[in-house]
Each structure stands twice: as structure tokens, then as C-alpha cells.
Amino acid sequence: MLLKLPSRCYVIPKPRRAWGVVSLFWIALAMVSAALVGAQTVDTLQVSLPGVQVEALRSVSTERSAPFAISTLRRSAAEVALQPGLSLQNTFQGMAGLTVNDRGHSALGERFLIRGMGWRSAFGVRGIQVVLDGIPLTLPDGQGSLDIVDPAFIRRAEIVRGPSSTFWGNGSGGVLMLSTDAFQDTTRIGIRGMGGSYGLQQFSADAAVPVGKHRFYGYASSVSSSGYRDYSEGRFTRAALTAKFNLGSKTQMRVVSGFAVQDSESPGALTLAQVAENPQAADVRNVNTLAGKESTQVQAGATIYHQMGIGLLSVTAYGLTRQLDNPLTYAYIDLARKVGGARVQLQKNGQNAGWGMGVDAGFQEDDRLNFDNVGGNAGSNVELDQKEEVRNLSAFVFGQINLLPLLTATAGLRADAIDFTLTDHLLGHESLSGDRSFSALSPSMGLALRVGEGLLFVNYSTAFETPTTTELVNQPNGSAGLNSEVGAQKTWGFEAGARGQAGRSSFDVAVFRMTVSDQLEPFQDQSGRTYYQNAGETKHIGIEIALLTRFSKVLSLQSTYTMSQYQFDLGELKDLRLPGIPVHHLFLGLRAVKGGFYGQLATDFVSSTFAENDNTTYNAGYRIVDINVGFTKLYIGGAHIQPFAKASNVFDRKYVGSMVVNAFGGRYFEPSPGRTFQFGVSASF
């Protein structure tokens, strides 16, 4: 049993008076709602969507039949207009089973966890399949980068909260399916401006334009901030265009494109002593070497849907390029990336049965140059000069059948083959060119029983995850080539749950147990460079609960709770907890709308997390309160004006919201901002 007393911790004081204020605010809001029961409101907290096909599953399943734990988010135009949309952590706040750690700066990206998958991410996303408007942001090697995702324009999200390699292959310990579609039958143009703490400036515009029977939607945005911590300034420019072409009664084509340009400083992580002295400080090594990131990503894709007699045929092709200039404390990295892929799928939905099959293919080519870092610039010493190629080919089948009028069985199987090839171009030493190959079979099966307005389900599913190219080429001995000592990890998961409607409430409950073998884990050297190894077996046990209660047409309460007990299960670390993951996470969001006024009080309770495998250092838990207000019924001429404001961390708690697990020298902590404010206005025509 894990009852080990930590030897060091980051202690956070408890503002008892602040919680008295919160209680009074909630009571007052409840009293106001009781007086406003008859008012009209627009519900933006859709939890369950019976009958809607779950695109993230790539199958014939809907939320009324899928035997998987699924979370669904739909954001109305009003909700998009009245929220700052600065981070995906805020966008997905309150979604059961998903934890997002905002590092407080944009150089490394937010850290995503689904049932513990993704815990090792030093940057970007690991272990979770992410898809934006039909284009996979998780690459063939299993690595994902979400720089191109603008949180302000996410309209819909689906989360599959468990192993999903049957549907998506490598790196699918969970799935996050994102959509920015905002097509309309009438022309609409929107603009928005926002300012706030730490030099925040955000400007954006979007437009939905119908042209005959075709639909177009596009947006562009720019956001910049000086950052809460020293040396954490960053700026993003993003834009996207999507189109839907109706090519006949049986054929439709969707085209998507987008780009993102980033320039961000990286303050690094701090030790416990440094946090206590000055949580806004930056790691002096990062400042001296001008560590940061400049990147440009461009992507495009198209999908054609054609209804045939045998079923619905969909064919997708996509591609992206990314240029990364990345000065780090130990090197200057110049990376040019090309990625492409195609998917072909045929599926048939019947009244009592459905089936589908398909093939996926993808390639990834990284031209990597590592130089010595000379004052934030590439030096003359070339340390690495190599091309890293990944090829992935897979095939899958799935089926669904009604065993009884209310009982549905689902099963699927996928086969993947992934090849890594490295070509060493560095002269003057023995060539370190080589290749690695991985393969996997990923089955899943489940049962779903409809009971009134609810669904009971049980499910077995699997996932596998190869090391990414970055994890394979970072060798502890400092040489080039592929690390032959690191293998793929595999996951087996069981879950049971229920979701549906009960009176004025929507509910979603799931319990799960997963086993991960050959767990991939990070460790660092004194320069701050991260390496990877397989660390035996881990077990993941937990429960996820989501409840949306509509007290009236004015007032609703969203509650989500996740309990996660993730432990090493073999060797010297047996029964110790995986670092960087809280055991308890509770979210409460109280929302009220009346006469055009909008208000939300949101509270996050997060328990303590350990910093490293041996569980001797931990980060204390925290409680954060945010308040978001706005007004939706202001019209000037032909413009619809919607002002809004948000106060984050209103009680100015000092806390650490993200950690670098297993970091060298105790540099685990990435402190989060204190109280911040954002003020903005949206206008549409």
C-alpha cells in the first residue's frame, strides 16, 4: 500500500476567508435563480447527445449504442463569444476523464492526460490521438503537437476515455477529436478584441459564408503576452479555412486548411527552493542560452463522402509541413518535417447491425540538424545531421449487432506495421544509419444495454505506443542513431459504466482498470536533455463521474470528479504512484443566464502530485476559482455586441499547475499565474 510520507513538498497556504466568500457567492446565485425560474436561456452545457454518431470511434456507433466511455462538448456561438479562449485547459474545463496542465507559457504546449496516458510528455502530446477537422495532429510515430489548434474557435470535441488503437493505431491511449466547423446558411462576420494581465493582447476575426449549396468558414487570430514568469513572452498567429461542397445527392466533399506561426520564449522549470524564493523566475540556463521555439506549420486535407448501395465510402488525404527552430540549453535544433497520409473507409449502418472496414497509411520525414547553441543561435559545430523517416500501414474491421432489441455487441480489430528509418549524413565518423520496426494487433469488444433514457456498457480495449522519433534519437551516450534499447508499450483496459438522462440531469459514470506493460518513462541528465526507457508494468485504476443538473431555465451546475490510482506494479517501484498525476480532481461549474446576462463560477480542486518515480518530492494540491461574466443582448446598428470579462484564480493562490516529471536536479516545478484578468468584446454582423 502506498502510504509513504513525502520528504519534501511545495506547501500552499489555505485562504479560509476566501472560501467563505465563495460559499456566499454560490448561495446568492442560487437565491437569484429561484426568483428567475421562468426565464428563457440558451443551454450551452450539452453532455449527452443521443443518436449522434461518435466520429472519434470511426465506427457505426452512436452515444446510444457505443460501449465506450465518451465525453462530448458542444460550444454554442454565444459561449465562444463570451469566453477568452486562451488555452485548451479552459476550453475543456469540466470534461470528465481529461486533465490538461497549462505550463504557463506556450513554448512546450499544454500537457494532456487521459487515464494516465500522456504523463511522460516533456513537450507536445504523447499517448493520445488528436484529430483537428479530420487531420491527425498525432503523427505516425505517436507524437502530437497542438500549436495549430486555436482554443477560441473549437466548436465541438469528442473524447474517447480509454485505449483506442482499434480505431486509430499508434499512440491511441485515448482520443481527442476536435472540430471548428461553424457553417451557416446565412452570412455572418465576427470580430473580437481582448486585453488582460501580463500584456495580453488578442485579436481575431471569423466568417461563415454560404455560396449556393456550398458552405465556407474561416478564421484568423493573433495573440501575444509578456507572460507571468520571466522570459516567457510568446506570440501566436493562426488561420484556417474549411469548406463543404455538396456535389450531388450522394456525394459531399470537405476541404480544410490552416497554418500557425509561433515565437515563444521558454523559462524552464524550477527547483523547490527557487519556487519558494521567486515563482516568477526563469531557469538561468534557459535565459543564458535564449531557449525557446520558433515554428511554422501549414496543413491541408480533403475528404470525399459517397453513398453507395453497399455502404458509405469515405476517402481522406492530408498533408502538413512544419519548420522548427528550437534553441535549447544543450543544443540548437533545426527540424524540417513533412507528413502525409490517407484513409479509406467503407461502412454500412443497418437497423439491427452495422459494419465497417478500412485502411490507413501515413509517412513522416524529419530532416534534423543539431548545432551547438551559441547565444541562442546555431553554432558552427554540427552535432547531428540525419533524416528520420516513419512509415505506417494499417487495416481495420469493426462490427456492431443487436443481440436483443436493447442489447448491442460491438467488436473491432486492427493490424499496424510501423517502420522507423534513420539515415546519418554527418561526416567524419562511422555511419549510425539504421532502422527499427514495430507491429501490433489491437482488438476491442463491448456490450451496451439501453435502459430507458440511459445506457449501461462494459468494454475491453487495447492500445500500443511506440517511442517517437525524438525519443528514439535521444540516446544517453549522446551519439546519433536510433536507440535500440527502447521498445513499445502496450495497454489492456477494462471499463464499465452508464450514461444518460434522469429528470433534469445528465449523467456519465465509468470505472476502469488498465495494465500498461513496458511503460515508457522519461529521465534527464544535468544539461536538461530528456531520454526514455521502458520501466516495467503499471496499473491504472479509477472512476470518472460527470453530472449536469439544470435547476431551472436560468441556473445549471456542472460537476465532474475523477479518481485516479496509477501505480508501478513491478520491481523496486512497485506500489509507488506515477508522478505528475493527481489522485483526485473535482470540478464544479455554476452557470446562470438571465435577460442577456451570463455568469459562470468555476472551481477546480486538484490533489497533490509526485514529482518523480520514487515519490519523495511532491507538489501540494490546490483549489482555483474563476469567474466569467458577459452580456449577450447589446445591438448597435446592425452589429451584435457581446462584452465579457474573466477573473482567473480570483483568490490569488500560489500554486504549481504543471510539472516536469523525473527532471534532473529537482527542476520539476512550472509555477502558474496568480490572479489575472481578461476583458474583451465580440461583435458580429
- Is the predicted pLDDT of residue 54 greater than 90, yes or no? no
**Position with higher pLDDT, 2 vs 195:** 195
Residue 632 CA to residue 613 CA, distance in Å, equals 49
Residue 497 CA to residue 66 CA, distance in Å, equals 11
CB atoms within 10 A of CB 19: 14
Residue 237 CA to residue 154 CA, distance in Å, equals 16
Closest CA to 386 of 352, 419, 432: 432
pLDDT of residue 27: 34
Q: Is the dihedral of CA 303, 52, 129, 345 positive or negative?
A: negative
175-186: average pLDDT = 94
Reduced to 3 states (helix: H, G, I; strand: E, B; else coil), residue 381 is strand
- Is the predicted pLDDT of residue 156 greater than 80, yes or no? yes
- Is the predicted pLDDT of residue 685 greater than 60, yes or no? yes
- Is the predicted pLDDT of residue 25 greater than 60, yes or no? no
DSSP annotation of 650 reads T
pLDDT in tens, 505-531: 999 999 999 999 988 877 777 766 777
**Helix residue ranges, H only, 488-575:** none
Residue 394: pLDDT band (50, 70, 90) is very high
CB atoms within 10 A of CB 239: 19
pLDDT of residue 480: 62
**Position with higher pLDDT, 105 vs 2:** 105
Residue 581 CA to residue 585 CA, distance in Å, equals 10
Residue 426: pLDDT band (50, 70, 90) is confident
Residue 121 CA to residue 471 CA, distance in Å, equals 11
Residue type, 527: S
pLDDT of residue 560: 96
Confirm if 520 and 565 have CB atoms less than 8 A apart. no
Residue 486 CA to residue 97 CA, distance in Å, equals 29
Residue 556: pLDDT band (50, 70, 90) is very high
Reduced to 3 states (helix: H, G, I; strand: E, B; else coil), residue 576 is coil
Lowest mean pLDDT among 3-7, 294-298, 310-314: 3-7
| 312: in domain | yes
In this structure, which long-range contacts are made by residues 522-525, counting pairs with CB atoms below 8 Å and at least 24 apart in sequence? 522/120, 522/122, 522/661, 522/662, 523/662, 523/664, 524/662, 524/663, 524/664, 525/476, 525/664
Lowest mean pLDDT among 93-97, 257-261, 450-454, 550-554: 93-97
Closest CA to 299 of 333, 267, 340: 340
- Is the predicted pLDDT of residue 7 greater than 50, yes or no? no
22-43: average pLDDT = 35
Lowest mean pLDDT among 63-67, 471-475, 545-549, 599-603: 471-475
Residue 233 CA to residue 282 CA, distance in Å, equals 12
Written as one string, the DSSP assignment of 25-71 is HHHHHHHHHHHTTT-----------TT-B-GGGTSS-BTTT--S-EE
- Is the predicted pLDDT of residue 252 greater than 60, yes or no? yes
Q: What nine digits make up the cell of 511? A: 470505472
Residue 97: pLDDT band (50, 70, 90) is confident
Percent of the chain with pLDDT over 90: 71
Residue 18 phi/psi, 5° resolution?
-60, -40
| 425: in domain | yes
Percent of the chain with pLDDT over 70: 91
Residue 509 CA to residue 455 CA, distance in Å, equals 10
For the entire predicted model, the pTM comes to 0.88
**Position with higher pLDDT, 643 vs 43:** 643
338-351: average pLDDT = 94
Q: What nine digits make up the cell of 438? A: 514495430
pLDDT of residue 50: 38
Q: What counts of helices (H) and strands (E) characterise the chain?
A: 7, 39
| 3: in domain | no
Written as one string, the DSSP assignment of 388-426 is EEEEEEEEEEEEEEEEETTEEEEEEEEEEEEEEEEEE--
Give the H or E element holding residue 260.
strand 251-265
pLDDT in tens, 346-370: 999 888 899 999 999 999 999 999 9
pLDDT of residue 539: 95
52-71: average pLDDT = 84
| 635: in domain | yes
Q: Is the dihedral of CA 261, 297, 111, 76 positive or negative?
A: positive
Residue 307 CA to residue 251 CA, distance in Å, equals 7
pLDDT in tens, 441-495: 999 999 999 999 999 999 999 999 999 888 887 777 666 678 888 889 999 999 9
Work out how many domains the chain is built from and give that number.
Answer: 1
pLDDT in tens, 572-614: 889 999 999 999 999 999 999 999 999 999 999 999 999 998 9
| 50: in domain | yes
Reduced to 3 states (helix: H, G, I; strand: E, B; else coil), residue 78 is helix
198-204: average pLDDT = 96
pLDDT of residue 430: 67
Q: What nine digits make up the cell of 190? A: 465576427
CATH assignment at residue 447: 2.40.170.20
Confirm if 546 and 497 have CB atoms less than 8 A apart. no
- Is the predicted pLDDT of residue 320 greater than 90, yes or no? yes
Domain of residue 661 covers 8-684
Confirm if 626 and 17 have CB atoms less than 8 A apart. no
Residue 180 phi/psi, 5° resolution?
-105, 5
| 2: in domain | no
**Helix residue ranges, H only, 250-356:** 272-277, 284-288
Exposure pattern of 82-96 as b/e (b: 16+ CB <10 Å)?
bbbbbbbbbbbbbbb
pLDDT of residue 313: 96
pLDDT of residue 482: 82
SS3 content of the chain, % helix, strand, coil (to 5): 10, 55, 35
11: left (phi over 0), alpha (psi -120 to 50) or beta: beta
Tell me the β-bridge partners of 225.
234
pLDDT in tens, 659-669: 888 888 899 99
Residue type, 326: N
129-142: average pLDDT = 94
Strands 8-10 and 617-619: parallel
pLDDT of residue 477: 66
Written as one string, the DSSP assignment of 118-170 is TTT-SSSEES-EEEETTEESB-TTSEE--TT--GGG--EEEEE-S--HHHH-T
pLDDT of residue 536: 82
pLDDT of residue 314: 96
